Amino acid sequence: MTDPSTSPDPAASAPAEAPAESVAPWQELALTELSGQRQALLAEIEGLEARRDLLAKDLLGTVAGQSDAIARRLKGFQDYLVVALQDLASQAEQIDLALPPPQLQPSPLDQTAATAAPPEAAAAVGPGVGLFSQDEALISEQLRRFQGQPDFYADPWKLRRSIEPSATALLEDWFLQQGGRGAQASSGSRNCNALVVAAAVAILGELYGERFQTLVLAGQPERLGEWRRGLQDCLGLGREDFGPNSGIVLFERPDALIERADRLEERGELPFIVIDASEQVVDIPILQFPLWLAFAATPNELALEEDQL
């Protein structure tokens, strides 16, 4: 028989195994939860790193890519300019700048009597040439009127002073013989020249109304001031009549005057260019315009200008 004192007691051994069975599930649960949190953190870190790499790639593509595209466009434009300038240079070399030979017209004295015009027809042709060949009667009548008593209360842009016979002869030669394009001897002073120009402006006003603008070229502000005061006094003008949008514009540089005259012709208006006697040279582009009057300085005026310099 078995000794009851040495046989295992089920009741005594059961409590010893109970704690081991109650701890294992808790640890396993904690480890599982920690492991899940770790995986979630790792996944979030990977997502943030991927987003960081994507942003860096986009930023690099935006700055560097656009800079490279701009550089390529500039290089292409530079190549285009080089080719265009080369073409322009080659075309300029092909332009024939030689003047054509002058066309000599036969002298009227060489014409035979059979082909000569009848005396009646010759008498009908007036001495006027160029732009004013059809306006001789009006111009002559205005010049005669200007030699009378001055009209100090005339309307603006009408001559308020009388002119001397020498100024009348100058204007008659400029209008009817030179056709409104040429140089004339200075009257001796800037004020006298301003009076001559004022008379010309008054006649042009009768012919063209407001469709012309007077452009005065003098190299210094003091000279332009004398022109402004002289024209203002002779034509009854105010300060508002001088300026880009008015009837008279004053210039110190010929290039600005030429640019203004070109714009007037583009608008269908007529520039009347006046060149002060102090200007020693007339720019060639000025000669292309239909109306210009250049005053040639007298020796006394040249000496006076040199003393003032």
Q: Is pLDDT of 308 > 50?
A: yes
Which residue would you say has higher pLDDT here, 208 or 82?
208
pTM above 0.75, yes or no: no
Give dist(CA 78, CA 64) in Å, integer.
21
**Given this model, what pLDDT does residue 128 score?**
52
The DSSP element (H or E) to which 201 belongs, if any, is: helix 190-208
Token pair recorded at residue 141: 């009548």
Which residue would you say has higher pLDDT here, 303 or 263?
263
Instruction: Look at phi and psi of residue 155 and say left if phi exceeds 0, alpha if psi is from -120 to 50, else beta.
Output: beta
Average pLDDT over residues 158-169: 95
Range with lowest mean pLDDT among 163-172, 195-204, 261-270, 298-307: 298-307
